[in-house]
Homo-oligomer: A and B are copies of this chain.
Amino acid sequence: MRRAISVIGGTGPAGTGLALRWARAGETVIIGSRDAARAQQTAETIRQRAGANAQVSGLENSAACAASDLLVLTVPFEGQAALLKQLKPAMRAGSVLIDATVPLAASVGGRASRTLGVWQGSAAQQAAELVPKGVSVAAAFQNASAEQLNGDADLDCDVIVCSDDPGATQVTMELAAKIAGVRAIDGGKLENARIVEQITALLIGLNLRHKGHSGIRITGLPDGAYKVSLLHNR
C-alpha cells in the first residue's frame, strides 16, 4: 500500500494500537484527533516505538480526513455520529471508511459487556448512512484487543471484515493482514457487523471475568478463507 492511512480518533487506545502496528509494517499513518497538538504528540510516541523510519504524523480530524482516502474510525460509539457529520465535507468520493465502532452500553452509562440497539442494525451501518455518496464503509477491527495492539507481541486473533463493497473488503483485509499474527476473513455484507460488534461486548465480559485481553479465532475454514489476494497495489 502506498497511500496514507488516516486513523480518525487515533489518540485513543484502539487507534493508537492500530497506528503503531501499521507504522511498524511500513505504512504511512496519519493520526487524527480533535486537538492537532495531541495528534502530533501521539504520532511522536508511535514514531519512537515503531522505529526511525516510521512514517507517522498528526493532524486535526478533518485535516486527517482530507489528507487520505483510506480512513479508519476508532472512536467511542457516543461520538461516532456527530464526528461523521462533522467530517462529511472532508470525505472524498472513492474513499474507504473502515469503522471499528462498537455500540457498547457503556456509551450511555451502562456496562461495557452489553450493547445498545442501533436503529440501522449496527454502528457500522449507522456509519454507512452518514458518509457522503461514493464513500464505501467496511466494518473491522472491533474485536482486536487494544491492549494487545499496543504491545510488542504478535496478535493472536482474526479480523472479520464486513462490507457491501468488495473493493473496500479487499483493502481492509490487506490492512488487517499487515498486523503480525492477524488473519483477515471476509465476513460478507456490512449487515453482519451486527454480530461482529456484539462479539466485542462478549469479549469484554470474558476479560472482566477471567482477567485477560481476549480475542477470537475462527477455526474449521479452508486455508483459502484467510488469504488476501493482493489485487490492489496502490
Q: Which residues of A contact B (CB under 8 A)?
A: 113-114, 145, 148, 156-157, 160, 185-188, 191-192, 194-196, 198-199, 201-203, 205-207, 209-222, 224-225
CB–CB B212/A225 < 8 A: yes
Q: Which residues of the partner chain B approach A187 to less than 8 Å between Cβ atoms?
A: 202, 205-206
Which of chain B's residues have a CB closer than 8 A to the CB of A210?
Answer: 185-186, 221-222, 224-225
Q: SS class of chain A's interface: helix, strand, loop or mixed?
A: mixed
Cβ of A216 and Cβ of B214 under 8 Å apart?
Answer: no
Residues on the B chain within 8 Å of A225, using CB: 206, 209-210, 212
Q: Which residue of B lies closest to A147 (CB)?
A: B220
Among A113, A145, A156, A221: residue with most chain B CB under 10 A: A221
In angstroms, Cα B201 to Cα A199, docked, is 12
Assembly CA distance A202 to B203 (angstroms): 16
Inter-subunit contact A219/B218 (CB<8 Å): no
Among B188, B191, B214, B224, contact of A221 (Cβ-Cβ < 8 Å) = B214
Residues of B within 8 A of A156 (CB): 219-220
Which B residues are in CB contact (< 8 Å) with A216?
216-219
